[in-house]
Structure 1
Amino acid sequence: MTDWTPEELRAISTTDDFHIAPYRADGSTVGTLAWIWSVVVDGGVYVRAYNGTESPGIRLRA
């Protein structure tokens, strides 16, 4: 991924929460929406699924 622009970081940091939908295995079908929280730290975006590993369509890795 390329670096985030200042405008993108500002938009992300001022939004309370997001819904994201990963693509399914076929690479073109959108999966189930998952609610996430995000935080911007030192120019990076970090996200956490609202329901943790129980969120639909989200696989968290250690």
Structure 2
Amino acid sequence: MTTWTSDELDGIEAAEELRIASLRRDGSLSSWRTIWVVRLGDDIFVRSVNGSTSAWFRGTRVRQEGRIQAGGVEKDVTFVDAEAEVDDRVDAAYRAKYGHYAANIIASITSPEASATTMRLVPRAQRS
């Protein structure tokens, strides 16, 4: 299994936003979407502020694979549904990183609907 390097983790963590595209059934990438991203230790997490009805989130369900760009890192990833046990820690990471935004925005990304979409991004070997 491929893992994040320290430089990749640091770059993604420092980035304000992450661009994400899911892999379609035919192997092509969907349109890029810009979302928020947080790091917990050696793991990278994302979630959909609009819950499971968001188009970009629904796209991740097709093949559970895609590509991300953030902080100088561009990487193929697998989308792994996070266990509910990390929700409180992911909430805290979002509050810490994005707490300078309005309280209602933070409440949206830490809502039960958003938490239900929490995914861990697992790096994959680059395509040739």
- The answer to whether the 8 A contact 1:34-1:57 is kept is yes
Q: Please give the per-residue CA displacement for 1:10-56, whole angstroms capped at 9, x wherever unaligned.
A: 000000111211111111x2112222211111111111134332432
Q: TM-score, normalised by structure 1?
A: 0.74
Q: Report the AA paired with residue 20 of structure 2.
A: I
- Higher relative CO (CA 8 A, sep ≥ 6), structure 1 or 2? 2
1:32 counterpart SS class: coil
Kindly tell me the number of residue pairs found equivalent between the two proteins: 61
Structure 1 spans left out of the alignment, 5+ residues: none
> Once the two structures are aligned, what percentage of the paired residues are identical?
36
Q: TM-score, normalised by structure 2?
A: 0.41
**Matches of 1:19 and 1:3, distance apart in 2:** 19
| Greater C-alpha radius of gyration | 2
Q: Report the AA paired with residue 51 of structure 1.
A: N
Q: CA RMSD in A?
A: 2.1
Structure 2 spans left out of the alignment, 5+ residues: 62-80, 82-115, 117-128
